[in-house]
Structure 1
Amino acid sequence: MPRIFAGRQKVEMKRIAKQSKLSACFSKRRPNVFKKASELSILCGVDVAVIVFSPNKERVYSFGAPSVEAVLHRCLGQNHDATTSSTSVRMEELRKAKIEHLIIELTNLLAQLESKKKVGEQLKMTWKENQEKKWWTAPIENLGLEELERLKPIMSMLKDKVDQRLIALA
């Protein structure tokens, strides 16, 4: 009897009671939170800080763009001079320019990857078509010396098999 799957179901939002499942869930989802914060920072040009405590309160994980400290100082109203100084403004401009350059480079690389995948698919289809074609139907006049030398032992083996079959049937 075939199994029936319900597909991707919505998980009820409630605290996970079992410690092993809780740790596994935390380990699996924590990098995604940081990735989303990074994307938000890059795409919207905002400063982001995320601080996460592990379920057992032993470790602290943090992510910040430009840094957790800079965002916290700005949030708490401290160090206004440093955030508006020409050096930090220049550093921020350089960081944003580098990020924009990397985004453009990533976009180009993804486009190249997509085109290479299409070429690969076309090559795979061509190879499949060539595999399906009967090699003995190719016009011999179009074959080169190397191809003819490779074809000769194959044809001779085929002739021997045909002769053996004729003898067996006679």
Structure 2
Amino acid sequence: MGRRRIEIAEVKDPNTKQVTFSKRRTGLFKKANELSVLCGAEIAIVMFSPGKKPFSYGHPSVDVVADKYLRKKRRSNVVRANVRENNASNEVGDRLSQELSIVQVHTEEEHKKATELDMREKEQEASQFSQNKELLQSSPVLQRMVEDYVDAVEVSECMLLLAKEAVIGIPHRPITKRRRRN
């Protein structure tokens, strides 16, 4: 069937939107990688999925490119002809700085959540270990109790076999020899 043109419009279905985002994201990152390799460009891409998860790509890294962009020192011998361009680039720099700080806040929050989950997991492992240890320690005690019970049952069986008279209320019948009839 081949490739065909699609209309560029927002996708309404959330599942389709997520799938489209994932495919387009990998394509965009691939193109950015090719551009950086072919042209030697330094590239940084930061995007948020429909589920509000951050994704980034950078060559050599997002931090290096963002720092270079945000903290670039203006050379004194270069004169800007247009003041609007300077203001626009400052606005873009400010906006990117704000977005970067938002991404950093999200990253810190996720790091805190991960640390908390790790602590909970370690606590659960410790409690399971102590429970397993208690079971292991109680195992010999239970084993000994079962052995004692089995011994008591064996003793009771032997006592019943050795008794001359029935103990449980079964009447004692004298043993008589029966003759066979031919």
More helix by share: 1
Q: Same fold (TM over 0.5)?
A: no
Normalising by structure 2, we get a TM-score of 0.38
Normalising by structure 1, we get a TM-score of 0.40
Question: Which one has the largest radius of gyration?
Answer: 2
